[in-house]
Homo-oligomer: A and B are copies of this chain.
Amino acid sequence: MLLHLHPQSTEEDIRETLSWLAAHNNEPVYLPGAGSGRIVLLAPNPDCREQFGLLPGVCKATPLFSPYKLAGRESCPDDTIITVGRIQIGGGEPVVMAGPCAVESREQTRLAAQMAKEAGAQILRGGAYKPRTSPYTFQGLGRAGLEILAEVGRELGLPTITEVITPEDVPEVAQYVDVLQIGARNMQNFALLSAAGESGKPVMLKRGLAATIEEWLLAAEYILRTGNRQVILCERGIRTFEPATRNTLDLSAVALARALTHLPVVVDPSHGTGRPELIIPMARAAIAAGAHGVMVEIHPDPCSAKCDGSQALNLAELKTLVYEVNATGKLMASLATERMEKR
């Protein structure tokens, strides 16, 4: 059930209505919006049905059809913009997140961060807890890695993002970084989704290797349901029969997610392709398909990287990527404006 609020509804109206709905077990969630917000009832109480339209500030009550009660455009037509430091994700300009696959040392992380900064990337990524296929490979530096990442980010003025892999680590990780990342393998680790949501930090949710778009958006619902509305979707390639690329980057999922949801969508062409020569063209294509940004792996010395070195970009490549992503972003913004004007 969806309660549409009057443009003139007051904060007090809304507060009053929300507390009445909660008291009557409707599980209301308030979604502020341009002009008029909405209230989604996650579990509408049938006994209250006749009152919904009469509550203070409420203009009308309509059934909610979308399975994505909170992520769908049905309950929130306007794009969500997430602010991280001075960066906006989901706004008009594309964001580039860059950094090493894994934090290996202070030196390596600082060099990578300087590359990111110099090239114009806006957010620093780096893995401290690494989910690895084999228990016998490098598993990340853990808390020491978090400290390095946070310190280097602070030093260079770059907000940071890192992956969290178990619910109990969430509070600690949330103290160190600006954005929590849920990896592809954990897209349906529902306890982790809830814990990440409850941290109050922005959460970037990677699509699972074999997750449908519907499953991806329903995983986002697990985070949104905690009251945390700062969810960023990240397409990173799906598993197919094609051996020439590490995964198959599914940009139609980006275009479709943009149509179905108000959440920002970014793309990881590093994991998505696994081939350095494809990362720049696919980053441009991602923006052209509607993505709000890209996340890429870089390394000051790819040959010595402890994981995924073969797909890490060098400084010159990163500069080209940032330049071309920005140029493509500018064109997309102007095409969007022209489409609007033609209507």
Q: Which residues of A approach B to under 8 Å, CB–CB?
A: 42, 67, 69, 131-136, 165-168, 185-186, 188-191, 208-210, 212-215, 218, 221-222, 225, 238-245, 248-253, 255-256, 258-259, 272-273, 275, 277-278, 281-282, 284-290, 320, 323-324, 327-328, 331-332, 335, 338-339, 342
Partner of A285, one of B221, B289, B320, B324: B289
Partner of A244, one of B165, B212, B278: B212
Number of copies: 4
By the criterion CB–CB under 8 Å, are A278 and B256 in contact?
Answer: yes
A224 to chain B, nearest CB (A): 9
A282 / chain B contacts, CB cutoff of 8 Å:
251-252, 255, 289
A-B contact pairs, 13 of them (CB 8 A): A42-B136, A67-B136, A133-B188, A165-B191, A167-B168, A212-B243, A212-B244, A240-B248, A248-B250, A252-B278, A255-B285, A285-B286, A327-B331
Apart from A132-B190, A186-B188: 9 A-B pairs, beta carbons within 8 A: A131-B190, A135-B222, A165-B190, A166-B191, A238-B248, A241-B241, A255-B277, A255-B282, A284-B288
In angstroms, Cα B342 to Cα A239, docked, is 36
Known pairs A133-B188, A189-B186, A241-B240; A251 contacts B249 (CB<8 A): yes
In angstroms, Cα B80 to Cα A293, docked, is 33
Nearest residue, chain B, Cβ from A278: B255
A251 to chain B, nearest CB (A): 5
Known pairs A133-B218, A288-B287; A212 contacts B189 (CB<8 A): no
In angstroms, Cα B238 to Cα A222, docked, is 24
A168 / chain B contacts, CB cutoff of 8 Å:
167-168
In angstroms, Cα B238 to Cα A239, docked, is 11
A326 to chain B, nearest CB (A): 11
By the criterion CB–CB under 8 Å, are B331 and A328 in contact?
Answer: yes
Nearest residue, chain B, Cβ from A166: B191
Nearest residue, chain B, Cβ from A131: B190
In angstroms, Cα B69 to Cα A313, docked, is 30
By the criterion CB–CB under 8 Å, are A244 and B256 in contact?
Answer: yes
